[in-house]
A = this chain, B = another copy of it.
Amino acid sequence: MSADLPRLAVVGAGIRGAMFARAVSQNPAADLVALVDRAPDLGAERASELGVPAYTGVDELLSRHPEVTAAVIATPDFAHRAAAVRLADAGIDLLIEKPLATTVEDAEAIAEAVERAGVRAVVGFENRWNERFLEVRRQLAGGEPGQVLHQVANLNDTRFVPTEMLSWAGQSSPAWFLMPHTLDLATWLAQAQPVEVYARGVRRVLPALGVPTWDVVTASFTLSDGSLVSLNSSWVMPTSAPSVFDFRHEIHTEAMTYHVEISPSGVTRYAPDGASWLQFGVYERAGRLRGIPIDMIDEFVDVLGGAERDLPDLRQGLAITRSIAAVHESLATGGPVAIAV
């Protein structure tokens, strides 16, 4: 362990947390100190693979490792607040998975703790590290395409995600799980904030499968620049879809149209038991993980090391949580809901 490198813990040792821990571990500019997970067995198993200790709570982490300087929070979406506030209070820099929180109250509590402590905080809107969107944003910022008029983003999951992958889908929704991605992208591309939303949803399939949440949600946002964002997310696509998610984003500007398709990877495999698009979101090369979420961790480490990077901050995290909360308010009331910018 180098005395002068950032020293990170990862909180949450599920699929994403374990990947983030490995990303930290392989980054020569950071030290991985420990993993934290409420489930002692899971945490211990993942931690031992990486040669670090595991703890079941943030307090224990802080008391045993006063040298920790930063943390990645990858607990379930609804469970970010306690760890984030406690760590911020202790002066720890944070990368918090999207969405920042699933209630405005939680998001504000985290934002207040971060501001009070003066720590650095990044929200893990990982699509911002996708070069496809980065290049479109660069072109939009260059001015040639003119202003954005309208964006349509469909981001759907197969029913595998809410019924098998996530144990806590009933506490989430396609809006909480998927729209933070698309709404963050849309507002980042347009460089504007949501000011109103009207949303509608259907609950029929998932409740019957024992997951009490929305099957599909559609939300129509007006942004502060007068442009429009139409988001559609389903959590009940058939599992025969060639990838677990289906993601298509259209951007219409004054002079151009961009069609972005994220799911088709360029490789279609027809196997005896089905067809699939091979996925390269995260992959291994020469013993190291590579891919978009790894780039996100690496840039977080860069920032911890003092570099200047344009990363999604708490203000944006808060805006997205407020906006998705407004989606659910619109679903409940049936009318459009204003979003405080």
Evaluate contact between A200 and B218: CB separation under 8 angstroms: no
Q: How far is the CB of A333 from chain B (nearest CB, A)?
A: 11
Confirm or deny: A334 has a beta carbon within 8 angstroms of a beta carbon on chain B.
yes
Question: Size of chain A's interface in residues, with CB distance under 8 A?
Answer: 75
> Would you call A131 and B280 a contact (CB within 8 A)?
yes
- In the bound complex, how far is the Cα of B252 from the Cα of A201, in angstroms? 12
Q: Does A154 reach chain B (CB closer than 8 Å)?
A: yes
B270 touching A215, Cβ below 8 Å: no
Contact pick for A264, options B134, B237, B266, B309, CB 8 Å: B266
In-complex Cβ contact of A216 among B204, B252, B260, B336 (8 A):
B252
Are A271 and B230 within 8 A (Cβ)? no
Q: In the complex, are the beta carbons of A237 and B270 less than 8 A apart?
A: yes
Alpha-carbon separation in the docked complex, A202 to B261 (Å): 24
Residues 121-142 (chain A) with a chain B CB within 8 angstroms? 131-132, 134-136, 139
Cβ-based interface call for A227 (8 A): yes
Contact segment of A4-12, A69-77, A239-247, A317-325: A239-247
Of the listed stretches A37-45, A110-118, A145-153, A164-172, name the one at the interface; the rest are far from the partner chain.
A145-153
B266 touches A132 (CB 8 A): yes
B149 touches A271 (CB 8 A): no
Selected from B150, B156, B268, B285, the residue in CB contact (under 8 A) with A131 is B285
Instruction: Decide yes or no: A131 and B234 within 8 Å by CB, A202-B227, A220-B218, A240-B272 being known contacts.
Output: no
| Chain B residues whose C-beta falls within 8 Å of the C-beta of A92 in the assembled complex | none
- Say whether A260 contacts B271, CB under 8 Å: no
With contacts A238-B270, A272-B256, A286-B299 taken as known, whether A152 is within 8 angstroms of B232 at the C-beta atoms is yes
B residues in contact with A254, CB < 8 Å: 204-205, 236
Q: Which residues of B contact A234 (CB under 8 A)?
A: 149-150, 252, 257
Across the interface, A267 reaches (CB within 8 A) one of B135, B238, B274, namely: B135
In-complex Cβ contact of A132 among B215, B240, B280 (8 A): B280
Say whether A340 faces chain B, with CB atoms less than 8 Å apart.
no
Which residue of A255, A257, A273, A307 has the most chain B CB atoms within 10 A of its CB atom? Answer: A257
Q: Is residue A329 contacting chain B, with contact meaning CB distance below 8 A?
A: no
Q: Taking CB as reference atom, which chain B residue is nearest A221?
A: B200
Give Cα A144 to B272, complex, Å: 10
Closest B-chain residue to A229, C-beta based? B218
Within residues 251 to 290 of chain A, which ones have a CB less than 8 A from any CB in chain B?
Answer: 252, 254-262, 264-275, 278, 280, 283, 285-286, 290
Closest 3 CB pairs of A and B: A150-B216, A198-B198, A238-B270
Some 25 contacts from A to B, beta carbons below 8 A apart, are: A131-B290, A132-B267, A135-B280, A136-B278, A139-B269, A144-B271, A149-B204, A149-B205, A150-B216, A150-B234, A156-B252, A202-B227, A218-B220, A238-B257, A240-B271, A240-B272, A241-B257, A241-B275, A256-B269, A256-B271, A259-B270, A261-B267, A274-B274, A334-B336, A336-B336
